[in-house]
Structure 1
Amino acid sequence: MGFLDIDRVTKSFGGLKVLHETDISVEEGEFLVLVGPSGCGKSTLLNMIAGLEEVSSGQIVINGRSMNGVKPADRNIAMVFQSYALYPNMTVRGNISFGMEMHGIPKKEREKKIAEVAELLQISQLLDRKPGQLSGGQRQRVAMGRALTRDPDVFLFDEPLSNLDAKLRVDMRTEIKKLHQKLGTTIVYVTHDQIEALTLSTRIAVMYGGYVQQIGTPQEIYDNPANLFVAGFMGSPSMNLFPARIVSANGAPAAEISLSDGRSAVLPFAGRDGTGEEGREITLGIRPEAITEPDGADRKSRAVHVVDSRVEITEPAGSDIFVVTQMGGKDVTARFSADVPVKPGEDFQFAINMEKAVAFDPKTEARII
């Protein structure tokens, strides 16, 4: 049993099932991110935890107490919305104080809590302003401050940064992470942004089509995706996925891939069990950072293989340059150091770290190596 248990929970609207049987256990103090594309069921699940939607079947338990049939106000949760949901006619102080007033907390205690929260979120100088006088980032801090006054069992965040510009999103991610480290509160956070999921969470639940596709730490999700959807969705740039075939190389499994000029290359996997799979068609998955210039390859890896391939496109990105070539008839992105003299139209050496490679069944989309 975790601090928050989602036990065989489903949700249907009429005859349409939008969330299939879902099991997630969240420990106290954990930061769980629900991530996936629009319509995958993540916001529906968050709304059921909050009590804004009823559970069709299964149960949600918080701190040992079943929430089925319990009103949102009685759940001891606090929710931060995408839209901030601030009262425009109230000051920042009034917005933060409102929930405490509704619960009959004495004024002296309210003022003390407001001062603590304002200092924590660095908004003390904004207390007498109204929401219309604040930037998007400041409004989001006020919305978080209002939630913090509750001392809830669980914080729920529903895409809180999606209305902010790119730089402000990065800054607010840092603030939210600092806040979690300082308070140690249990957080469930919904986003469609996989970078947000990877940077904020202690664990991630990747959702698609109403199902949880994989649950794990950010590193587990990134390095060992359970299926093609997770592999392609998590990471920016996303994992390279292209056709290959399993062959035997000195008794060990290897991937045979076609290159841009029609040649093929055999790339042995390192420390992977693929015996008995020879001849099987696969989808090979390799992250861009595992395909580099030879000098940039991982010196500790036992399975770096160098191949020549035609450069199609280069995309400078500051400290790196993304180099696009073709493997298996698909565009494949490599991450080179910015000072590598690589040009489109030329053949160049690509170092592929097969310790980082994974393989999927093209039909079932499940990982096999």
Structure 2
Amino acid sequence: MGFLDIDKATKSYGAVEVLHNVDISVEEGEFLVLVGPSGCGKSTLLNMIAGLEDITSGEIRIKDRAMNGVHPSNRNIAMVFQSYALYPNMTVGQNITFGLEMHGVPKPERQKAMQEVAKLLQIEQLLDRKPGALSGGQRQRVAMGRALVRDPDVFLFDEPLSNLDAKLRVDMRTEIKKLHQKLGTTIVYVTHDQIEALTLSTRIAVMNGGYVQQLGTPQEIYDQPANIFVATFMGSPAMNVVPAQVVMQNGRPAALVTLSDGEQAILPFSQDNLAPYEGREILLGIRPETITDPDSADRKSSNIAELINRIDVTEPAGSDTFVSMQLGGRDVISRMRSDVPVVAGQSFTFAVNMEKAVAFDPDTEMRIAP
């Protein structure tokens, strides 16, 4: 039993069920990120935790207390919205302490809590300003301050950084992570940005179509995706997914893939669980950074396979160069150092770290577990 338990929670609008039997248990101090494309149900689930949406069936518990039917004001949660939702006619200080005032907290306690939070968020100099005089990043800090000052059981963040520009988003991401590490608060955070999910979370729930596709640590989600949706949604660039055939080589299973010129290459797997698939088609998943030049291959890996293939496109990107080629009739992206001599149209020797490769069943699209 966790600090926050979502137990077989469903949500329906009329005859249409938009959330299906969601089961998530969040421990105290965890940073859980709900991530997925627009319309996947992540914000609906967050609103159900907050009490802004009713639960159709199932149960949500905070500290072992059922929240079904409990008014949002009685849940001891605090929510930070995408739109900041600040009162324009109030100063920053008044915005921060408004919730405490509504709960009857004496003024000296309100002022003390406000000063502590303002110092923590480095907004002490903004307390007498109105929201209209603040930048987007400053407004987001104020919105966070209003949540922090209440010392709730659970913090809920609904895409809080989506209105900020790219650089400020990165800066605020770092601030939120520092804040969590310092305070050890329990956070449920909604985003459609998978980089945000990977960098902020202690665990991630990847959602699609109202279902939790996978729940795990960032490393588990990235290295062992449960299915093709998770594999291709999480990671930038996305995981390469290539049609291949399982063959046996020296008594071990390997992937037979077709190169751009129609020739074939054999890439041996590190795991033996694919032996029963001999002769069958699979989908081979390889992250771009595990395909590189031989000199840059992972020295710790015991399974580096090489293949010679034609380069279709090179894309310099500062510290990296992204190289596109054809494998199994599909475009495959390789991520290399910027100084690797790669030229479009030429053949090149690629090194593939097969220790990091995963296989998917083409019918179910589920990962074939080791």
TM (norm. structure 1) is 0.99
Determine the C-alpha separation between the residues in 1 that align with 2:271 and 2:256: 17
Alignment-derived partner of residue 358 in structure 1: 358
The alpha-carbon deviation at position 97 of structure 1 amounts to 1.1
Determine the C-alpha separation between the residues in 1 that align with 2:303 and 2:166: 37
Alignment-derived partner of residue 86 in structure 1: 86
Does the alignment pair 1:25 with 2:20? no
Alignment-derived partner of residue 151 in structure 2: 151
Alignment-derived partner of residue 47 in structure 2: 47
Mapping of residues 266-285 of structure 1, within 5 Å: 266-285=266-285
Aligned letter for 2:47?
A: N
Aligned letter for 2:151?
A: D
Alignment-derived partner of residue 104 in structure 1: 104
What SS does the aligned partner of 1:312 have? strand
Aligned letter for 1:42?
A: K
Determine the C-alpha separation between the residues in 1 that align with 2:118 and 2:149: 10
Determine the C-alpha separation between the residues in 1 that align with 2:282 and 2:132: 55
The alpha-carbon deviation at position 318 of structure 1 amounts to 1.1
Alignment-derived partner of residue 257 in structure 1: 257
Determine the C-alpha separation between the residues in 2 that align with 1:367 and 1:107: 57
Determine the C-alpha separation between the residues in 2 that align with 1:272 and 1:203: 29
Encode CA deviations 1:167-205: one digit per residue, 9 max, x unaligned. Answer: 000000000000001110100000000000000000000
Determine the C-alpha separation between the residues in 2 that align with 1:119 and 1:272: 56
Does the alignment pair 1:64 with 2:64? yes
Determine the C-alpha separation between the residues in 2 that align with 1:135 and 1:315: 35
Encode CA deviations 1:134-177: one digit per residue, 9 max, x unaligned. Answer: 11000000000000011100000000000000000000000000
Determine the C-alpha separation between the residues in 2 that align with 1:52 and 1:359: 41
Aligned letter for 1:302?
A: S
Encode CA deviations 1:72-103: one digit per residue, 9 max, x unaligned. Answer: 00000000000000001111011001111101
Alignment-derived partner of residue 133 in structure 1: 133
Alignment-derived partner of residue 3 in structure 1: 3
The alpha-carbon deviation at position 319 of structure 1 amounts to 1.1
Aligned letter for 2:296?
A: G
Aligned letter for 1:337?
A: R
Alignment-derived partner of residue 192 in structure 2: 192
Determine the C-alpha separation between the residues in 1 that align with 2:275 and 2:346: 37
Aligned letter for 1:190?
A: V
The alpha-carbon deviation at position 17 of structure 1 amounts to 0.3
Alignment-derived partner of residue 228 in structure 1: 228
Aligned letter for 2:44?
A: T
Aligned letter for 1:81?
A: F
Determine the C-alpha separation between the residues in 2 that align with 1:302 and 1:183: 41
What percent identity do the matched residue pairs reach?
Answer: 75
Alignment-derived partner of residue 245 in structure 2: 245
What SS does the aligned partner of 2:151 have? coil
Aligned letter for 1:153?
A: D
Alignment-derived partner of residue 308 in structure 2: 308
Aligned letter for 1:199?
A: T
Q: Count matched residues.
A: 369
Encode CA deviations 1:5-61: one digit per residue, 9 max, x unaligned. Answer: 000100000011000011000000000000000010100000000000000000000
Determine the C-alpha separation between the residues in 1 that align with 2:242 and 2:163: 35
What SS does the aligned partner of 2:54 have? coil
Which stretch has the larger CA shift, 126-135 or 266-275?
266-275
The alpha-carbon deviation at position 303 of structure 1 amounts to 1.1
TM superposition outliers: structure 1 runs of 4+ over 2 Å: none
Encode CA deviations 1:320-358: one digit per residue, 9 max, x unaligned. Answer: 101111100111000111101111111111101110000
The alpha-carbon deviation at position 272 of structure 1 amounts to 3.7
Aligned letter for 1:209?
A: G
Determine the C-alpha separation between the residues in 1 that align with 2:308 and 2:288: 16
The alpha-carbon deviation at position 317 of structure 1 amounts to 1.3
Determine the C-alpha separation between the residues in 2 that align with 1:6 and 1:211: 13
Unaligned runs of 5+ in 2: none
Determine the C-alpha separation between the residues in 1 that align with 2:101 and 2:301: 60
Determine the C-alpha separation between the residues in 2 that align with 1:49 and 1:107: 30
Aligned letter for 2:279?
A: G
What SS does the aligned partner of 1:276 have? helix
Root-mean-square deviation (Å): 0.7
What SS does the aligned partner of 2:275 have? coil
Which stretch has the larger CA shift, 311-320 or 56-65?
311-320
The alpha-carbon deviation at position 271 of structure 1 amounts to 3.1
Aligned letter for 1:182?
A: K
Determine the C-alpha separation between the residues in 2 that align with 1:107 and 1:276: 71
The alpha-carbon deviation at position 64 of structure 1 amounts to 1.1
Aligned letter for 1:22?
A: V
What SS does the aligned partner of 2:277 have? coil
Encode CA deviations 1:276-301: one digit per residue, 9 max, x unaligned. Answer: 21011111100001000110001111
What SS does the aligned partner of 1:331 have? strand
